[in-house]
């Protein structure tokens, strides 16, 4: 199975980059399933029903999120109607929506997509390790699903790496989101699980993690609030990774970084035969 994962869509620049590049990437790279983190799509904070529908029309199959999932209040009701829009699974049990989704391809293959929120330097929530163990009681690669993909939304690289090591061989891929900076550590962890600490954001990199640089610089120089953070929107960059897994075992065969657009050096995964 060939899985395309796109990191945090940040504001208008990220949305436009997705519209511009996703259809061609999905076609040219022979992608079976496209997973998009959309938690910053709505002006940098949250996501709306309209943007979800836009992303599906571009070719997204599942939309993951993170700690900003509730920033747009309308999403509280919408998420109960859209099972392909998932929020972190380690939120309290009575939280609206679902934390994972079992997606079935046209040919019958199945991929479980799980969204989890880390705890270090993040808002308090249940343990992501314990929640993943609970999910794995029901779903197992090579038995009732062909792949398990985890979007691990968090700040600390150590927590993400520890999670990847702990679940190595039991999930197909663990790719981090949230920091908006793509890391250079994409590899097959222990020869079993595709891993990358952070996929990076999709948006304008002539910025400070996607926001207008002048506002962030002002806050660091003067230690006063200044203007509200506004997403930068002059350049367009799409960042993420392509993972290939074995349909029989669910074990990862390869992971390749993806960067296409302006500002950052491009990284285009190989085109399969």
pLDDT tens per residue across span 108-164: 999 999 999 999 999 999 999 999 999 999 999 999 999 999 999 999 999 999 999
> What pLDDT does 266 receive?
96
Q: Among residues 199, 67, 45, which one has the least CA distance to residue 128? A: 67
| Overall average pLDDT of the 99-116 stretch | 98
pLDDT at 273 over 80: no
pLDDT of residue 202: 98
- Band (pLDDT 50/70/90 cuts) for residue 79 is very high
d(CA 30, CA 32): 7
Active-site residue list: 68
User: Stretch 97-105: mean pLDDT, rounded?
Assistant: 98
Residue 219 confidence (pLDDT): 87
Rounded CA gap, 91 and 154, in Å?
Answer: 14
Mean pLDDT (the chain) is 96
CATH topology of domain 2-261: Purple Acid Phosphatase; chain A, domain 2 (3.60.21)
Distance between CA 219 and CA 117 in Å, rounded?
A: 27
Q: Across the beta sheet with 237-245, what order do the strands follow?
A: 62-64, 33-37, 2-6, 237-245, 252-261
pLDDT digits (tens, 9 = 90+) for 151-180: 999 999 999 999 999 999 999 999 999 999
Query: What pLDDT does 120 receive?
Result: 96
Please, which pLDDT band fits residue 238 given cuts at 50, 70 and 90? very high
pLDDT in tens, 21-52: 999 999 999 999 999 999 999 999 999 999 99
- Between CA 69 and CA 63 the distance in angstroms is 11
């Amino acid at each position: 199975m060939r899985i395309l994962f796109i990191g945090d869509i940040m504001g208008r620049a990220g949305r436009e980059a997705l519209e511009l590049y996703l259809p061609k990437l999905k076609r040219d790279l022979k992608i079976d399933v496209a997973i998009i983190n959309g938690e910053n799509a709505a002006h940098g904070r949250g996501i709306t029903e309209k943007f979800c529908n836009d992303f599906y029309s571009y070719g997204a199959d599942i939309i993951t999120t993170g700690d900003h999932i509730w920033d747009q209040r309308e999403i509280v009701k919408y998420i109960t109607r859209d099972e392909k829009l998932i929020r972190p699974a380690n939120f309290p049990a009575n939280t609206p929506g679902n934390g994972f989704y079992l997606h079935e391809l046209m040919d019958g293959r199945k991929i479980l997509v799980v969204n989890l929120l880390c705890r270090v330097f993040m808002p308090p929530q249940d343990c992501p390790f314990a929640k993943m163990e609970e999910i794995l009681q029901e779903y197992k690669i090579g038995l009732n699903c062909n792949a398990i993909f985890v979007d691990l939304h968090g700040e600390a690289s150590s927590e993400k790496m520890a999670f990847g090591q702990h679940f190595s061989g039991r999930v197909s891929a663990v790719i981090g989101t949230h920091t908006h900076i793509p890391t250079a550590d994409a590899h097959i962890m222990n020869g079993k699980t595709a891993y990358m600490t952070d996929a990076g954001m999709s948006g304008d990199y002539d910025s400070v993690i996607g926001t207008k640089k002048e506002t962030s610089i002002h806050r660091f120089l003067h230690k006063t609030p200044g203007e509200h953070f506004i997403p930068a929107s002059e350049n367009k960059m799409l960042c993420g990774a392509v993972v290939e897994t074995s349909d029989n075992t669910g074990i990862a065969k390869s992971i390749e970084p993806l960067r296409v657009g302006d500002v950052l050096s491009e990284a285009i995964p190989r085109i399969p035969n």
